[in-house]
């Protein structure tokens, strides 16, 4: 169940139903940064939408009543085995994107960053993540420009429309 706005009220709605109907809902995204590089993940092929596409470090939907920072920490651990990072709240952004298969993401996203001095060990959960990579920002922007279909819609939106809010 995902916290979702319906008629001005926040209600719990089943995740797949939220995406089938394109309902506006809560989300969290995290970017782990090391110098000019960002830790990217390639989504597992078993994911119900955008399988095999490259995304930011991690993202998810908070549980009902879950604090966004707690959610971000939980998901870093669940997806990548990362714990103990100091998260910095960056901003809240909203986007709507077709993610294929008749599904729509309409998210109100609390965005966090964490800065590390050197690349940290990562233990991807194979049910969630098939590959990780540290990528320089300029290289990432060039890759997205050359092959946008290899990247999730939300990562493209974050970099095109919200870059200053996230990385300033």
Among this protein's residues, is 147 annotated catalytic? no
**Cβ within 8 Å of residue 76, ≥6 positions away:** 30, 32, 57, 58, 82, 83, 85, 114
Alpha helices in 9-81 (DSSP H): 15-21, 68-80
Told to judge if 17 belongs to the known catalytic residues of this protein, a careful annotator would answer no
In the chain, which ranges are E strands?
2-6, 9-13, 24-34, 37-43, 54-55, 58-60, 88-100, 103-115, 129-136
Q: Check: CB of residue 56 under 8 Å from CB of residue 144.
A: no
**How many Å apart are CA 60 and CA 62, to the nearest integer?**
7
Contacts of 59 (CB under 8 A, 6+ apart): 27, 28, 29, 30, 75, 109, 154
Catalytic residue among 66, 105, 107, 128: 107
Token pair of 92 as six digits: 């809240």
Catalytic one of 58, 59, 71, 105: 59
Active site residues: 59, 107
């Amino acid at each position: 169940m995902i916290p979702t706005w319906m008629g001005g009220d926040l209600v719990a709605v089943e995740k797949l139903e939220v995406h089938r109907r394109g309902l506006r809902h809560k989300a969290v995204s995290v970017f782990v940064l090391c110098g000019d590089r960002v830790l990217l993940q390639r989504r597992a092929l078993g994911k119900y939408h955008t399988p095999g596409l490259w995304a930011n470090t991690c993202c998810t939907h908070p549980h009902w009543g879950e604090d966004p920072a707690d959610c971000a920490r939980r998901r870093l651990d669940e997806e990548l085995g990362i714990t103990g990072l100091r998260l910095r709240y960056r901003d809240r952004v909203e986007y709507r994107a077709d993610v294929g298969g008749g599904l729509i993401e309409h998210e109100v996203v609390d965005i966090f960053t964490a800065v590390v001095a050197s690349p940290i060990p990562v233990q991807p959960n194979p049910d969630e993540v098939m590959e990780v990579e540290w990528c320089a920002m300029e290289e990432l922007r060039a890759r997205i420009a050359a092959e946008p279909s290899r990247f999730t819609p939300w990562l493209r939106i974050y970099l095109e429309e919200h870059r200053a809010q996230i990385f300033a």
